[in-house]
Amino acid sequence: MLVAFANRPVKSPNLELADLIGPLSYALDLTEGQPKDHCIRCCYIGMALGRALGLPEAELADLFYTLLLKDLGCSSNAARICELFLADDIDFKQGFKTIDPGFNAALSFVFKRTGLKAGLSERIRALVKICREGERTTQDMISTRCHRGADIAAKLRFSSAVQEGIRSLDEHWNGKGQPFGLTGNDIPRASSIALLAQVVDVFHSEGGPGGVATELHKRRGSWFDPQLVDAFDALNASEGFWEMLASPDMPDWLLDTAPSIAGLPVDEEYLDDVAQAFSDVVDAKSPFTADHSNRVTLYADMISEELGLADNHRRWIRRAALLHDIGKLAVSNQVLDKPGKLDENEWKAVRLHPLISENILKRVPAFADMAQVAGAHHERLDGKGYPHGLAGDDIPLEARILTVADVFDALSAERPYRAAMPIEKALAILDEDTGTAFDGECVTALKRGLERLSQVIEQPKIASNQTIAA
Ligand SMILES: [Fe+2]
Ligand SMILES: [Fe+2]
């Protein structure tokens, strides 16, 4: 007998936009290998700069969300970084942000980090490839990241100012940035502030306030507008600036003082859009799991419908399905996309991802009640699953639904280590472990749902044949 985890409320509490987007930015910190609250700290730094410059309130509101969401597109280059540099994408990205500006430092970093775990001939092949194609591929990766981030911001219904702020994050004052090579004041101000805030936080996290000004002045007039660096110098010397940045109260204070954006209410429809947008961030990470979250959501909803769950409950499960793998943003694509068997450490990293999903969602008030369910999508009824080893009735119904949907998609979609499996074979594998790993009622509901779907797909064909025959 299945027992529903809880009855889901139709209405969400009255949530502020900042309380939703702020905590979710933690998922983006993980993709970039940055210490927790990197995006929140960048937001604090950039907003302090924006206020010091006397920007109008509407521009400050757009700046606030540009700063929080500057890394929305970053997951899209993870697989290609692994492939080109034979490196852990998360370590590579983290290290790359701390090198000196200029071509020589970038080249030296790439040579030092490429193929560290590869054999000599593989490493040489990779370096030759980088020399031949590296510049073009890197430009392509940056461009994809910028445009992808802007597109996801549009899905989140942010203004074109926020979208362009994210798109132009890597533009440099001297015109040598990406993706368009914009110069000077043609670069959106939010982008210039976000890039400067990023450099400040990265170097502050590495070595405290002491070295930050040096790093900014190295880039004054090349990466950054000299006036912006001068404005930061004044902040640098202002009382309490660094103390507040380091204070544990800062994130709450920052979100409490967020400028408001008119016409963007955090209602049920918006929460659906946010779950969808962040599932796009997750699915962009690996070509092998592209669209995985959407397909799991489709199968999970199919199962929920067959089990007769109420509409509001189904909606809640769809959101959990969209976000179940958000913890994968913290796992390197060297592991996720590995074609062979995983070693012990790699397997350990994979087993952590549901726990990371749980931890990310716990921080977001609107999604906190789905944290336990997302965190349990790799548990098994016999207690041999992970990360908690839950068994039987300790695994909520919603998590059992996600598990069946997730495994069915993993089996029926193409993976790095094998081709896609026919549906019948995937269902037969589910049958083998029904009762030990999978909930029998959920598996039966999936089969009924797939059957109904195939009938729906068949019917228009019959109808159109009849029309042609007539
Ligand atoms: Fe998973
Ligand atoms: Fe999954």
Res. 302 pLDDT band, cuts 50 70 90: very high
Ligand 2 center from residue 371 Cα (angstroms)? 14
pTM of the model as a whole: 0.87
| Residue 262 located in a structural domain | no
Catalytic residue among 93, 285, 328, 447: 328
Tell me what pLDDT residue 11 has. Answer: 45
pLDDT band, residue 207 (cuts 50/70/90):
confident
Q: Pseudo-torsion of CA 355, 356, 357, 360, nearest 10°?
A: 130
* Centroid of ligand 1 to alpha carbon of 406 (angstroms): 7
CA of 291 to the centre of ligand 1 (A): 13
Does 261 fall in a domain?
no
**Which three-class secondary structure state does DSSP give residue 259?**
coil
How does pLDDT run across 170-201, given as a tens digit for each residue? Answer: 999 999 998 999 999 999 999 999 999 999 99
Rounded to whole angstroms, the Cα distance separating 389 from 375 reads 11
What pLDDT is attached to residue 280?
94
pLDDT at 83 over 70: no
Asked if omega into 179 is within 30° of 0 (cis), the reply is yes
Same domain, residue pair 284 and 211: no
For residue 9, tell me if it sits in a domain: no
User: How many A from CA of 291 to the centre of ligand 2?
Assistant: 10
pLDDT in tens, 431-461: 999 999 999 999 999 999 999 988 877 665 4
Can 129 be counted among the known catalytic residues? Answer: no
Same domain, 67 and 171: yes
pLDDT > 60? residue 204: yes
Ligand lying closest to the C-alpha of residue 331: 1
Residues 207 and 300 in one domain: no
CA of 166 relative to ligand 1 center, distance in Å: 29
Share of the chain above pLDDT 90, in %: 65
Residues 211, 72 share a domain: yes
**Does residue 115 form part of some domain?**
yes
Ligand 1 centroid vs 324 CA: distance in angstroms? 7
pLDDT of residue 35: 85
Mean pLDDT throughout 244-250?
94
CATH number at residue 374: 1.10.3210.10
Q: Is residue 418 part of a domain?
A: yes
- The runs of H, that is alpha helices, within 73-159 are 78-85, 89-96, 103-113, 120-155
Question: Quick check: is 10 in a domain?
Answer: no
Q: Establish if 5 belongs to a structural domain.
A: no
The last residue of a domain, from among 211, 233, 256: 256
pLDDT of 209 > 90? The answer is no
20 CB contacts (<8 Å, ≥6 apart)?
A: 266, 271, 274, 364, 365, 366
Q: Which ligand is nearest to the CA of 378?
A: 1
pLDDT of 153 > 60? The answer is yes
What pLDDT was estimated at residue 140? 72
Nearest ligand by distance to the CA of 296: 2
Between the CA of 283 and the centroid of ligand 1 the distance, in Å, is 12
Cβ distance 72 to 149 under 8 Å?
yes
Whether 57 and 125 map to the same domain: the answer is yes
Query: For the residues 377-403, what does the mean pLDDT come to?
Result: 97
Number of domains in the chain: 2
Residues 167 and 205 in one domain: yes
Q: Are residues 347 and 218 in the same domain?
A: no
156 and 283: one domain?
no
Looking at 227, 256, 285, which one is the last position of a domain?
A: 256
DSSP letter, residue 240: T
Asked if residues 375 and 364 have their Cβ atoms less than 8 Å apart, the reply is no
How many Cβ atoms sit within 10 Å of the Cβ of residue 299?
A: 25
**Nearest to residue 375, comparing CAs of 345, 353, 392?**
353
On whether the CB atoms of residues 35 and 371 are closer than 8 A, the answer is no
Ligand 2 center from residue 290 Cα (angstroms): 11
Q: How many CB atoms lie within 10 A of CB 214?
A: 10
Which range of residues forms the domain containing residue 146? 17-256
Which residues touch 325 (CB under 8 Å, ≥6 apart)? 282, 289, 292, 293, 353, 357, 377
Average pLDDT over residues 351-380: 96
Residue 464 has pLDDT above 50, yes or no: no
Q: Which residue has the higher pLDDT, 126 or 248?
A: 248
Q: Does residue 7 belong to any structural domain of this protein?
A: no
Average pLDDT, the chain: 86
Q: What is the mean pLDDT of residues 390-417?
A: 92
pLDDT for 32 equals 76
What pLDDT is attached to residue 15? 67
Distance 327 CA to ligand 1 centre (A): 8
Which tokens sit at 422?
A: 């026919």
> The dihedral of CA 393, 398, 399, 402: what is its sign?
positive
Q: Do 251 and 275 share a structural domain?
A: no
Rounded distance from Cα 334 to ligand 1 centre (Å):
16
Q: Which ligand is nearest to the CA of 289?
A: 2
Taking residues 219-246, report their average pLDDT: 94
Least confident stretch, 87-96, 323-332, 362-371: 87-96
Confidence of residue 137 (pLDDT cuts 50, 70, 90): low
Q: Minimum-distance ligand to the CA of 409?
A: 2
Give the residue, 126 or 412, on which the prediction is more confident.
Answer: 412
> In this structure, are 207 and 317 located in the same domain?
no
pLDDT at 277 over 80: yes
CA atoms of 47 and 354, how far apart (whole Å): 33
Looking at the structure, do residues 159 and 303 belong to the same domain, yes or no?
A: no
* Ligand 1 centre distance from Cα of residue 281 (Å): 15
Can you name the residues that pair with 220 across neighbouring β-strands?
A: 224
Last residue of one domain, picked from the residues 197, 229, 256: 256
Are 277 and 353 contained in the same domain? yes
pLDDT band at residue 281 under the 50/70/90 scheme: very high
Say which ligand is closest to the CA of 405: 2
The residue among 198, 68, 80 whose CA lies nearest residue 142 is: 80
